[in-house]
Amino acid sequence: MVRIDSHHHLWDPATDDLPWMGDAIRPVLGRRFDVADLRAVLAPHRIDGAVAVQAQLNLTEGRNLLALAAVPGSPIVGVVAWVDLTSPSVGDDIDALRAGPGGDRLVGIRHIVEDEPDPAWLLRTDVQRGIAALHARGLAYDLLCRPPQWEATLATARAFPDGRFVLDHIGKPRIAAGRDEAWFPWIAAMGALPNVDVKLSGMVTEADHRSWTPADLRPYVDAAIAAFGPSRAMFGSDWPVCLLAADYVRTIGMLEEAIGGLSAAEQAAIMGGTAVRAYGLRVA
């Protein structure tokens, strides 16, 4: 059984552009997280590879992550990079990433849509053109959204039935506020679209950072799996962001406990098989 962490980040605040890292979270996340740190958290859990996901809005980060993935024996088996979807040169930018070191490890593109002031940003003509360009090149598009963008996210996935989408962090329901009733029908609608897969990630940081329990997250895990099925759901740690609410051990342990009643094949899909298929990963 191949085990994949489908969502992690690497950065160095001393050199990287991370405007979202405010004072409240800087004490936990405001240090360098590199490949050595990644290896250290993956190894005890027999993780065979991990997908590095963009945290900056620049092409340099993507080039750097791909170069790290190109190093023999790297734990990074795929990279979800950023390109400017609104740019007329979006296709050329993707092609340039692919032409550089590690370019064959480019598996997807993402934009931090949740920070866009326009909740319908995804529906802009230039953005939709950019999404079409990445799909034409066989890449997945990672959907990062919060409740204000849910409607546009669903409409975008419906607009590209032949494209591949991966929903990050189950759409970030408002877990800390209690049961987010609006999320349940929305996740069911997303799951009804066969071109969308879901990451069972980011839940610990949407819950109360200090007091969350597995029971708080279980209804969301169960609903996401019910909507997508194990063959379209995948584990992602969102490390090191998860450290705001839980270490890697507790983050992966919560999910493994929640899916413990599934069959061995279903657990294998969630813990690796889905990510391999969705991103077209090559794992030695």
Separation of alpha carbons 233 and 196, rounded Å: 9
Segment 212-224 mean pLDDT: 98
Mean of the per-residue pLDDT values of the chain: 97
Rounded to an integer, what distance in angstroms lies between the CA atom of residue 109 and that of residue 80? 5
Instruction: pLDDT band for 134, please (50, 70, 90 cuts).
Output: very high
The pLDDT of residue 226 is above 90: yes
Q: How many CB atoms lie within 10 A of CB 256?
A: 14
Q: Count of residues for the chain?
A: 284
Looking at residue 171, its pLDDT comes to: 98
Classify residue 104 as left (phi > 0), alpha (psi -120 to 50) or beta: alpha
The whole-number pLDDT of residue 284 equals 74
Residue 104 pLDDT > 90: yes
Mean pLDDT, range 233-247, rounded to an integer: 98
* The predicted structure's pLDDT at residue 72: 96
Map residue 178 onto helix, strand or coil.
coil
What pLDDT sits at residue 165? Answer: 98
Residue 249, pLDDT > 90, answer yes
Residue 54 DSSP SS3? coil
pLDDT of residue 187: 98
pLDDT of 26: 95
pLDDT value of position 261 = 97
Share of the chain above pLDDT 90, in %: 99
Are 87 and 130 within 8 A, CB to CB?
A: yes
Residue 250 near residue 209, CB atoms below 8 Å: no
Q: Give the chain's largest Cα–Cα span.
A: 48
pLDDT in tens, 174-209: 999 999 999 999 999 999 999 999 999 999 999 999
How confident is the model at residue 159, as a pLDDT? Answer: 98
Please give the C-alpha separations between residue 78 and each of 6, 121, 140, in angstroms, as whole numbers. 9, 26, 11
SS3 category, 153: helix
User: Which residue has 């053109």 as its token pair?
Assistant: 129
* 49 contact partners, CB below 8 Å, separation of at least 6: 2, 4, 5, 75, 76, 77, 78, 281, 283
Element (H, E) at 52: strand 49-53
Residue 11's pLDDT band (cuts 50, 70, 90): very high
196: nearest Cα among 150, 241, 264, 239: 150
Under DSSP, is residue 226 helix (H, G, I), strand (E, B) or coil?
Answer: helix
Average pLDDT over residues 50-71: 98
Q: Is the pLDDT of residue 75 over 80?
A: yes
The mean per-residue pLDDT over the stretch 114-139 comes to: 98
What CATH number labels 4-279?
3.20.20.140
CB 115 within 8 A of CB 101: no
Mean pLDDT of 255-275: 98
**Vertex 143 angle, CA 2 and 69, to 5°:** 45
C-alpha 26/C-alpha 178 separation (Å) is: 26
